[in-house]
Amino acid sequence: MERAAAAAAGPAVEGGGVSRRAVRAGGAAAVGAGSRQPSTETLDSPTGSHVEWCKQLIAATISSQISGSVPSEGVSRDYREIQDGHNGYHSEAEPDQVALRDGNKLAQMEEAPLFPGESIKVIAKDVMYICPFMGAVSGTLTVTDFRMFIKSVERDPPFVVDVPLGVISRVEKIGVQSHGDNSCGIEIVCKDMRNLRLAYKQEEQNRLEIFENLVTRAFPVSNGLPLFAFSYKEKFAVNGWKVYDPMAEYKRQGLPNESWKISKINSSYELCDTYPAVLVVPTSVKDDDLSKVAAFRAKGRVPVLSWIHPESQATITRCSQPSVGPNDKRCKEDEKYLQTIMDANAQSHKLIIFDARQNSVADTNKAKGGGYESESAYPNAELVFLEIHNIHVMRESLRKLKEIVYPTIDETRWLSNVDSTHWLEYIRMLLAGAVRIADKIESGKTSVVVHCSDGWDRTAQLTALAMLMLDSYYRTIKGFEVLVEKEWISFGHRFAMRVGHGDDDHADADRSPIFLQFIDCVWQMTKQFPAAFEFNELFLITILDHLYSCLFGTFLCNCEKERLKEEVSTKTISLWSYINSQLEEFTNPFYVNYENHVLYPVASLNHLELWVSYYVRWNPRMRPQVPIHQNLKELLAIRTELQKKVEDLQREAATRSISSSSDRGSSPSHSATPVHTSV
């Protein structure tokens, strides 16, 4: 099932008794060496000059190429479902249109491949894709309920653009007058750092309603339709929904224990509707007190355990801001609760509270009824502000980044342009904050509480990154999947709201690239510690592609309660089903399981770089001639072969050792040298 990754990728052209070690990037111990606001300028707002450039390019293309084209032969939008023998899947086309396609070899060659459950909505011939790198390409446009597919066999090899509709943020119609024909142009703004432009004749628009069909299918939620994930019927050998079992994960961490219990108080999501059903809280805390703490914390998101140190018992707990307000309101149950968290760790008599926000923003939130813990009310706590900017700043930063990487790159001002976006500076701040959290746990043996405002954006970034640094399990493929399921999905990061799945409101101020930033931070860590992670770069890019694609149910909805209501785990397929069915595609051949090593990445701009393989991948001039992941697959095959030889040699050595021992029993003078083999 290789098509799942390809569809999201776009154009085919174009703990076990071992002492824990701190590992710092570049150091001697390195691994391998020892308030909501309207948004006027959104992520995908094109500037006036950009739109004008688009109009001119479409006009020039239509003038030179469309005026002499043959009238298109499309497929009517009024369909009955029939069996299409050509590809083995159901498509929706009139019988006479099928006969037309059967008699047109070119049309057959340019048809879109279909996933099980996918159906065609529109087919239009002689549509121009205006590529910013290769010029205009004429081919067949197919719109399904999952993708927009353009293929031209005029070029060798055939030119293909394959775009999951879920990545589309906005579709704009641009009318162009050319040679007396009223022709149509469309600009498609995507969430994955690219824009697409199409041009076709007005008569095709009148007959097929291409624009309307594209908009309807790209934004199903806004049009009362289900997301494609609920129609996708692929079969996989592995059930990805079984990857994360909260009880098993907490058991792996040694929980419950004498200080911490697994609570079912939120089993009906009544304590907090954005938290998971299974929570870990201090053993001595009564449910009545927990309810009072929930009333004091924003959105009811009480401090709960995310991770516990296997030796010191220092913990990472996460929550939302306290509702202190301008009058410095207090809650004795909340104060006692945090004291109990501190007391659960006998190694320290202090609790560090990391507030991800800027101090000035936290003060503003306090004036609006939120706030932060005062050290007078929490005498054994130390409050640290990490000064990380809010979701609106991050959205604007990514918008600026998109401007400088697509469609053209100014080579002479590349470094200054990247710097002006502040994207890497915000990545640095996240990594620096996570390093401080991990260091307090590992070196300071001190428990920490992490929160921002609501506890589902910056909080998830920081806890997940710190846990990745502290726990080598999360650096395996399955462990990382568990980390994402636990800290992001189950704890209520608002994926539907931040990504805008199937929603046409591209200017929604709640959209923000929070999860993208987290994956970027993970990629930065893999660059600094290339042997410490079992997964490769393709694994991270695949996760991001399907964050948007709506092919899988993994990132749908905003919280566990919503997913249960929508029956996501029974009606959709998990992304992990796809990934875990072909692990060789996503495995790092250089991986070494440095169990119990703590990673401290260098959070300095000198050690960070723009993730070109993701952000600039649509530019063919920026791609390596041979795909890196292909080289990694070859290295993985070599490693597997070498490991097999090592195992054969070890078995041979063991056999000789047994034989030698037998010989020594009968001939004491004979001796043998033991063979020690390692890889």
DSSP class of 122: E
Which residues are catalytic, by number? 452
Single-letter residue type at 122: V
What sign has the CA pseudo-torsion 76, 79, 82, 87?
A: positive
Considering only CA atoms, which of 24, 558, 622 is closest in space to residue 269?
A: 558
Place of tokens 């048809």: 111
Considering only CA atoms, which of 376, 371, 369, 353 is closest in space to residue 361?
A: 371
Place of tokens 């063979």: 675
- Which helix H or strand E contains 281, and what residues bound it? strand 279-282
CB-side exposure of 235: number of CA atoms within 13 Å?
0
Task: Report the 10 Å Cβ neighbour count for 617.
Answer: 20
- The DSSP-derived string for 560-583 is HHHHHHTTHHHHS--HHHHHHT-G
DSSP class of 352: E
CA–CA separation, 293 and 270 (whole Å): 14
Q: Using an 8 Å Cβ cutoff, are 655 and 672 in contact?
A: no
Q: Using an 8 Å Cβ cutoff, are 121 and 77 in contact?
A: yes
CA–CA separation, 594 and 596 (whole Å): 6
CB-side exposure of 646: number of CA atoms within 13 Å?
10
Tokens of 290: 């927990």
Q: Using an 8 Å Cβ cutoff, are 259 and 317 in contact?
A: no
Three-state DSSP at 425 gives helix
Q: Using an 8 Å Cβ cutoff, are 116 and 232 in contact?
A: yes
**φ, ψ (nearest 5 deg) of residue 251:** -65, -40
Q: Using an 8 Å Cβ cutoff, are 408 and 378 in contact?
A: no
Q: Any residues with CB less than 8 A from the CB of 44 and at least 6 apart, and which?
A: 169, 170, 189, 190, 191, 399, 402, 506
Q: Is the peptide bond before 303 cis (omega within 30 degrees of 0)?
A: no
CA–CA separation, 251 and 225 (whole Å): 41
